[in-house]
């Protein structure tokens, strides 16, 4: 009997065989770079399971090219890269990796808040570029956190974890979420620092656009470690160029891996290449969780972290 095969689209932070049993054949794209689209479709043709990352577009073309496919185990919390309608029609499970990256993402959010408010990027550039002439009372001043208003857009696991950490900085916290908190309009108007932790859905695409950015306090800061398309990057650049916003820190982008050139040119913007979950422990656990869902389905069992019903 032919063994089921799983195609893993990237090198993982753990050895796949440490999770998958010997009865499963592993096809690993052993690279941090994406497989070309044609290669993705070709290697998915005979698989029973697919383990993509969020950057892999698993649309109807890919899914229909894989007649044996039984599960798509996304190596991510989000799953908008997967065509759920086609999976539902075909009876294919789709799973994600919830919960495991809460603390790492909350920690990175705070790293970005501190980098932005204390102007760490500018300070390092000044020092490395030879421009530092010594300590001065007015050098690279930033806002004190104590007493400021932290606005959290999206109050799920990560938003709540960020709020817990805010207590140590003596910040006032407001949030908006389905079924609780303040309205989006109030959040924008009240926040000295706005951080984004809502999921990307059709309703949240460009949720923060030109009108919303102008509604924020003059000099307010924006931090996004959720999903890039929630923020209209062109509108963000315009708000920064006008001086209305005081700065931004982004770990995610609207068209990854591309970044709006207007962001790249600014010293009041901190940019990271989607590193929020990048601890050894978190990335290994994400891989383990995704692969364990594959193991369950290929044994004929129900996955634990399904985002659809088949």
Query: Would you call 256 a catalytic residue per the annotation?
Result: yes
Query: Would you call 305 a catalytic residue per the annotation?
Result: no
Query: Would you call 189 a catalytic residue per the annotation?
Result: no
Enclosing H/E stretch for 28:
strand 25-28
SS3 39: helix
Question: Catalytic: which of 25, 122, 189, 256?
Answer: 256
Interior angle at CA 34, CA 12 and CA 42, nearest 5: 100
Question: Catalytic: which of 43, 227, 260, 305?
Answer: 227
Measured in degrees and rounded to the nearest 5, phi and psi for residue 186 equal: -65, -40
Residues 6+ apart with CB under 8 A from 257: 55, 273
> Sheet of 5-8: strands edge to edge?
25-28, 5-8, 49-51, 71-73, 93-95
Q: What tokens appear for 208 in the block?
A: 């923060």
Long-range contacts of 141-148 (CB under 8 A, 24+ apart): 142/116, 142/117, 142/118, 143/117, 143/192, 143/246, 145/113, 145/117, 145/169, 145/170, 145/171, 146/170, 146/171, 147/171, 147/172, 148/172, 148/192, 148/193
Q: What tokens appear for 229 in the block?
A: 């398309």
Measured in degrees and rounded to the nearest 5, phi and psi for residue 223 equal: -130, 130
Which residues carry out catalysis? 227, 256, 274
């Amino acid at each position: 009997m032919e063994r089921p095969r799983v195609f893993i689209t990237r090198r993982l932070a753990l050895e796949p065989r440490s999770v998958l049993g010997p009865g499963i054949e592993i096809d690993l794209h052993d690279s941090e770079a994406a497989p070309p689209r044609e290669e993705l479709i070709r290697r998915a043709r005979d698989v029973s399971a697919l383990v993509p990352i969020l950057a892999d577009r698993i649309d109807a073309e890919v899914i229909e090219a894989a007649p044996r496919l039984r599960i798509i185990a996304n190596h991510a919390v989000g799953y908008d890269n997967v065509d759920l309608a086609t999976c539902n029609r075909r009876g294919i499970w789709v799973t994600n990796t919830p919960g495991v990256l809460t603390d790492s993402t909350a920690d990175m959010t705070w790293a970005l808040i501190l980098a932005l408010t204390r102007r760490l990027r500018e300070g390092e550039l000044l020092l490395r570029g030879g421009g530092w002439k010594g300590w001065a009372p007015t050098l690279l001043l930033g806002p004190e956190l104590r007493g400021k208003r932290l606005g959290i857009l999206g109050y799920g696991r990560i938003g709540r974890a960020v709020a817990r950490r805010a207590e140590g900085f003596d910040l006032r916290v407001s949030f908006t979420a389905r079924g609780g908190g303040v309205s989006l309009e109030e959040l924008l108007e009240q926040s000295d620092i706005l951080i984004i932790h809502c999921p990307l859905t059709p309703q949240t695409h460009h949720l923060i656009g030109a009108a919303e950015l102008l509604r924020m306090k003059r000099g307010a800061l924006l931090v996004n470690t959720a999903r890039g398309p929630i923020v209209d990057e062109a509108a963000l650049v315009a708000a920064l160029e006008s001086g209305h916003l005081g700065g931004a820190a982004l770990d995610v982008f609207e068209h990854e891996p591309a970044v709006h050139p207007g962001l790249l040119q600014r010293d009041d913007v901190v940019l990271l290449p989607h590193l929020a979950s990048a601890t050894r422990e978190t990335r290994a656990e994400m891989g383990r969780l995704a692969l364990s869902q594959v193991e369950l389905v290929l044994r004929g069992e129900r996955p634990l972290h399904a985002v659809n019903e088949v």
